[in-house]
Amino acid sequence: MALSRHSVATTGPLSVEEIVQQAQEFEFVPNRSLKNWLRSAQLLLTEAAICEQDGDLQKAYLYLYRHAELVIGKFPKHPEYKDPKLKADLAQAQKVVQKNLIKLEQWKPRINQQHQRYLKAVERRNTEKQRVQEERLNDVRQFHANDPLRQSSIGSEDGAYDRDEAQALNANEHRQLAVDLAHNEIRRRDASKQSTQRAGLSPSTVAARRQGFVAGSPEQHDKSSRHHYGFDTVNEGIREAGRHLQHRSKREPPKVDANQRAPGPSSYQYPSVPAKETAVDWRMPALQPGPKSESYRPPPALPTKEPPDGGRYQQDQYVPPVPPRPHQSGSPSPATATPSPPPAAPSKYTFKPTASTEAGTPLRTVLLPPDLRSAFLNLAHHNTSRNLETCGILCGTLISNALFINHLIIPDQLSSSDTCDTTEEGDNELFDFCDSNDLLVCGWIHTHPSQTCFLSSRDLHTSSGYQIMLPEAIAIVCAPRHNPDWGIFRLTDPPGLNHVLNCNQKGLFHPHSETNLYTDALRPGHVVEGPGLKFEVVDLRKG
């Protein structure tokens, strides 16, 4: 299973234990370079940050937990774990885990309470349905069948939770609506980011306030969290885990028993530190699901508004106010020191998956600007005329459960007639740009100046690296001298993705024993071309 695979809240809000079970379901392939795995871990943090900012704690929790599982539980088993060149990156990843574990503990009561609220709503609905059915079987059947009050009461109970749910749409059938929602949401995020920068607030502080926390100093926030959630023992356990990580980074990594089994999916625990290490026990009671908070009340659901007939959906846009000047004297309280922008209103729509992998796992819809290919070909024209390949990276963001590609990045690269490789410096610049702009790597695009439109064995290995990070990642091939002159592909899963990831052949181009390695991602598939979808071109090439 790919690293970013998820199925949170497909049938309603899940409990923390259920989210953890899903977070542990991914395949770790040791023969993939640890540097690439570190990038995959960073992508998980980006997805978590987007979900947190949008108020989707369930998915944010899944991505942060999976990041911790990857860094703590999987990386020490990688053959390159002792490489001195990666020591600093691994230490940084462990520090991030230490901070995120505190955040996960703070989210637990809210997630579990949302799950309990959902269960109670379902129970009320089922109880009411059963009561009505029993009454209708009695002698008063005719009375109840004609009683409008009875019918309306059934509907109100049945929809008690459903009113909080966003309307699920097919992006292929509502392309213009999807594009309009994306443009409005991207503008809102940009305005919110500018407002928080002017107000001097960090993104984490804004996200904390959005979830109902009052952001003061770190010490005040730590105390309020313990008081509100009763996390004295939990935070002590996490501090112990943090101390263990710091000590562990100064020691040689342990030898791992190849026969050691990972914890079963039904056991709830933080990522296990490899055997033969001492200190923290990640199964300690302090790190288990804590008591549910009774003070949280979810915000009221917004009424559903349908797009006007014959026109495009016009979503209200938030224009942030200019923050007031700081006080010249006095020290305001932490709760009122600086204003934060209002939280994002929950989207009235969500885009349901309309395609799935060969194993039946849903794939989120990818919205692609139709003009992106021509823009890329214009940039690649100089190389194409000289029979040299050109590659670009497709980057985007997550909005309403759909991926919108809004950046085409051309990294620094070395090209030949059959290959195109990013330079090490270009690689670093690419991911630094993505990290600083909260962008997800959604795949790549490249030319075949003289060859036909297909994925070579080398292309398959390149695509597998993107697809293990994001299962919806795509590969676009442009072959301007042939017909068809372009195609959008993804590796089959199974068998293509696992077959390529486990391929150890060394040749630049080599045959594979499996034939069903990739498939069309557009006709049919999970990719939808969004008319008018705006995108930005970033050319990082030297010279």
**pLDDT, greater one: 182 or 160:** 182
Burial of 294 (0-12, 13-18, 19+ CB in 10 A): exposed
Residue 331 confidence class, pLDDT cut points 50, 70, 90: very low
Q: Quick one: how far is CA 393 from the chain centroid?
A: 18
Average pLDDT, the chain: 77
Bridge partners of residue 71, in order along the sequence? none
Task: Give how far Cα 453 sits from Cα of 85, 434, 466, Å.
Answer: 38, 28, 19
Which alpha helices (H) appear in 56-174, and where do they start and end?
A: 57-68, 87-136, 141-145, 148-158
In this prediction, residue 245 carries a pLDDT of 47
Stretch (H or E) spanning 37: helix 34-53
Which of 317, 342, 311, 48 is CA-nearest to residue 183?
317
The model's pTM is 0.68
pLDDT greater than 90 at residue 318: no
Which residue bears the tokens 């292309």?
A: 459
The phi-psi region of residue 500 (left if phi > 0; otherwise alpha if psi is between -120 and 50; otherwise beta) is: alpha
pLDDT greater than 80 at residue 59: yes
pLDDT digits (tens, 9 = 90+) for 14-56: 999 999 999 998 889 898 999 999 999 999 999 999 999 888 8
pLDDT digits (tens, 9 = 90+) for 118-165: 999 999 988 888 888 787 777 555 655 555 444 444 444 444 455 456
- Give the mean pLDDT of 476-494: 97
In this prediction, residue 312 carries a pLDDT of 43
- CB count within 10 Å of CB 491 equals 31
In this prediction, residue 11 carries a pLDDT of 64
**pLDDT, greater one: 195 or 110:** 110
**pLDDT, greater one: 111 or 207:** 111
- Give the mean pLDDT of 354-358: 95
In this prediction, residue 336 carries a pLDDT of 38
Residue 192 confidence class, pLDDT cut points 50, 70, 90: confident
Burial of 395 (0-12, 13-18, 19+ CB in 10 A): buried
- Give the mean pLDDT of 457-486: 96
In this prediction, residue 536 carries a pLDDT of 98
In this prediction, residue 90 carries a pLDDT of 96
In this prediction, residue 137 carries a pLDDT of 77
Question: 495 is written with which tokens?
Answer: 């068998």
Residue 71 is given by DSSP the state: I
